[in-house]
Structure 1
Amino acid sequence: MRKFSKTKDKKAHQRALVPFPGATKQDFKAALDAAKEEVPDVLVLVLFGDDMAKALKMVTAMGLKKKMSIVVPNLTLGMAKSAGPEAMEGVVGALPWAWNIPEQYNYETGKKFVETFSKRYDAYPSSSAASAYSILYQYKDAVERAGSFETAKVRKALEGHKYSLLKDEQEWRAFDQQNIQTVYAVKGKTKEDILKDKYQSDYFEILTSMSGEKAARTQRQWKNDRFKANKSSILN
């Protein structure tokens, strides 16, 4: 976040830490009070799951959204639904997939997945559902290409493998075994738009996208981070 937003100067761009796990309402209140006192242009909530939902509800109740822009770097549909339409309105964040991405970018397999999932479960698939679906088929494909269930052979079949399934091309990067894929910047829709949706789950307006290669750490950055953490740059 600091790299892409040019806020590496921690004196000029301050932060307030909360305990993890187990942050209480009082912990969030103290951190948000500090933000309220500073009145920054942008408040970034580096939180996930229930912590994000609780903090975002407090942000809304305290009226901070009227004074500053709110950014949540890592969003999911489940988190948005937990926070609720009012709290999510206008919030900017990022995610690897959302149910309306296939429609907006015309990914046919993705559109079929959303349609089938919605009919079966009366709900839109989240990024977690899309990830679970994709990973299962990727494992199956790797086993078939490796001709074995042996871990080392399956891993070798995955490393460097490129594929397209629910969206554009993705890759299992060889040197760090990470899935490199396009990420999307989104903004929370208005409460009115969210509630008029048939599932009341049309939370995200897709703003733009960034390629996985640009978003992910380079091999040099990854090796430097591993060196600083006293970890090997060769994964077994």
Structure 2
Amino acid sequence: MRRLMICSFLLVLAATANAAQPIRLGLNYPSTGNYKSEGLELRRGALLAIETLNRQGGVLGRPLELISRNTAAREEKARANIEKFAAEGATMAFGGATSEEAIAAGQRARELGLLFFPTLGYANAITGHDGQRYLFRETNSAWMSARVLGEYLSWHLPNRRYHYVSLDDNWGHSMEQALREATRSRDRARHGFSRISARGARHEEYLAALKKAASSDADVLVIVLLGQDLVQTMRLAHDLKLDQRMQIIVPNLTGSIVEQAGPQVMEHVIGTAAWTWRVPALVKSEQGQAFVDAYIAQHQRYPDSTAASAYAIVQQWAAAANRTGSLHSEKIIKALEDHRYSLLKDEQYWRSFDHQNVQSIYAVRVRSRSEIMQDRFKQDYFNIIHRMDGEAAAPNLDEWQEERGDELSLR
């Protein structure tokens, strides 16, 4: 009898210890390099989600803990970090600043049985050609950005001549190609282009690309860049007064880019965003507004779409774990597939055949500097100028299977 009581006591102690054991989540983010400002937004959004969930009792009665590692936007570091997260007991991983990172980290996560949610990876290949069962993308694809821009530009700037300055990487190629299709600017002889090195681009390279654009007869300048590549190119374009003679398009816009380049430099630039801090009020989302208010209270600034994506990923993974009563990746995959929810905006869902998050996408224009300066934080950067429903923006099953080739389902 005494032995039975001791065994029961030990089992209770073990269960209590396990209940208190934190659940670890691994965040790949760039704290240095070309995308460090975006990395800061990622970490802030993730931490706010974890703080919110822990106040509500955590996941399966256990608190969440964030493990963060710098990638410097390098795929080899992103992949190595996944191995470290797994060794440290992480149950899922997310983050990254480039499409190459997303693909490399996602592949290693699958090999280790971890779910991976990329953040700033927009290349079509992430949920297209290189899509796989253990990867879910919350952010929009290049295809989705191109379609909302294509529709807006066809209505408001029809029959214009384009010139493209694009990053020479997976995302840059897919974004340019998708925009050429959407805007009917496929003819490269008429609608010229320049490529920017994916790593180590210098001032002279940005300048040469912009001078080539200036010597063209283009009406629209499309700059398919991110991070410091985009900041430096936009400053040079402003110095060359290209913004006075061309409509500048930046397909993926974030508040941190406008802040770094400066509102005067970015004035009237058109791009896309899946979310802005004004969207919750626009669609009457109470949870979305609570996120905005909490972020402002902590940081005295508006949250960016990057922070919102990290926040939503953690919340959605946690909700799936609580629904299934398990941290097992396969069970969470089944709980996420075709799951519809409203969190920070109107309804969206994780599509089962490609694991792309299907959601409304917005075309936005950077407000004038004078308007921005009137705001209390001087950070109210965007006016929403067009909206497209997620089903219309995302590729359909036939289009997805055409990109996949012989492999017509996720593995």
In the superposition, the TM-score normalised over structure 2's length comes to 0.55
Q: How does 1:173-192 map to 2 (within 5 A)?
A: 173-192=351-370
* Structure-2 separation of matches of 1:27 and 1:232: 39
Q: CA deviation at 1:144?
A: 1.7
Q: CA deviation at 1:152?
A: 1.1
**Contact 1:39/1:68 (<8 A) preserved:** no
**Contact 1:181/1:212 (<8 A) preserved:** yes
* Structure-1 separation of matches of 2:228 and 2:284: 32
Q: CA deviation at 1:108?
A: 2.6
Residue identity over aligned pairs, in percent, reads 39
Q: How does 1:106-117 map to 2 (within 5 A)?
A: 106-117=284-295
Residue aligning to 1:119: 297
Q: CA deviation at 1:11?
A: 2.0
- Of stretches 10-19 and 43-52 in structure 1, the one that deviates more from structure 2 is 10-19
* Structure-2 separation of matches of 1:99 and 1:62: 32
1:19 to 179, 186, 197: 197
Amino acid at match of 1:199: F
Residue aligning to 2:218: 40
* Structure-2 separation of matches of 1:88 and 1:61: 12
Residue aligning to 1:104: 282
* Structure-1 separation of matches of 2:394 and 2:226: 20
- Of stretches 173-182 and 15-24 in structure 1, the one that deviates more from structure 2 is 15-24
* Structure-1 separation of matches of 2:286 and 2:199: 40
Residue aligning to 2:89: none
* Structure-1 separation of matches of 2:386 and 2:283: 11
Q: CA deviation at 1:210?
A: 0.8
Bigger Cα Rg: 2
CA RMSD, aligned part only?
1.3
**Contact 1:28/1:55 (<8 A) preserved:** yes
Residue aligning to 2:322: 144
Amino acid at match of 2:223: L
**Contact 1:223/1:233 (<8 A) preserved:** yes
Q: CA deviation at 1:173?
A: 0.6
Give the count of matched residue pairs.
233
* Structure-2 separation of matches of 1:53 and 1:36: 18
2:307 to 126, 129, 139: 129
Runs of 4+ in 1 over 3 A off after TM superposition: none
Amino acid at match of 1:163: Y
**Contact 1:102/1:111 (<8 A) preserved:** yes
- Of stretches 54-63 and 112-121 in structure 1, the one that deviates more from structure 2 is 112-121
Q: CA deviation at 1:179?
A: 0.8
**Contact 1:90/1:190 (<8 A) preserved:** yes
Cα-to-partner distance string for 1:7-38 (whole Å, 9 max, x where unaligned): 12222212111111221111111110010000
Amino acid at match of 2:380: D
